[in-house]
Structure 1
Amino acid sequence: MMLHPHTFSCSLSLAALLLSSSLLAGERVLITPSFELSLDSRCAEGEVSCNDYTLQGLERENGRPFMLQGRSMHTTCADGVTPCRFLGYRFDQSSRSFLITEDGLLNIYHGDNLILHEQGRWEGTPAPAREHDR
């Protein structure tokens, strides 16, 4: 089968558009020493607070996959209702809670007990610029 250059170019453009739109839809990947975590927002663009995140994870030690539903976490403004500063994400499982911060910190709790504390890195996201680097 022979593809014309125009057809091939359109196919590549469509593939690039689909890839970029899936990244813009809210998917983020966090890599830590113990986990590979993919977060995906199912909320409308522009929503400040989102109660519909999906976390697909893979435990590096045993290769066991898991999936959890969660939400974003924010401080509340002075009115006590309006979400203000973004804090991160929370995903609850029957025995564990995963808290992930914007700077890539992963905390896993069993009840009130902290059982894992790891720094990760957001894949495909440059490190935040430091003040003295500007």
Structure 2
Amino acid sequence: MLRLWGQTQYSTLLELTRSMLNKYGISKVYGHRELYSTDCPGENFPLDRIRGEAARSGGKLIYPGYLIKMNPALEDNNVKDVQEKLMSRGYNVGRCGVDGFFGRGTLEAVESFQRDSGLAVDGIVGVNTWNKLFE
């Protein structure tokens, strides 16, 4: 497969895919032919490999590259990941649970996690909070 796709091409495509997934909170990768009647991306394209490697890096979620903060009006898949991780560590994210919305309950859970972890308590999931939460 990499005979047709050089390692540099593959690595660049993988990083671009990861960046788009993280930037826009996308959780799934689809090939064109899965959504429309087409042969794209073709049989030689490593779609399954891209799917498997794009969302995770060594089994670890990748920091999305933007600050995740309180906004109860906007659903975000990265907020779901944060909520799941907080709950798995024993923090209560509010009555709605893992819903992808960063409301008061998630804010309080993030602040408690930051306090317990010796981080700056600002209620914002930036790179330091993300890395500590997902280490």
TM-score bracket, normalised by the shorter chain, equals: 0.3 to 0.5
Q: What's the TM-score, normalizing by structure 1? A: 0.32
Q: Which has the larger radius of gyration?
A: 1
Question: Which has the larger strand fraction?
Answer: 1
TM-score, reference length from structure 2: 0.32
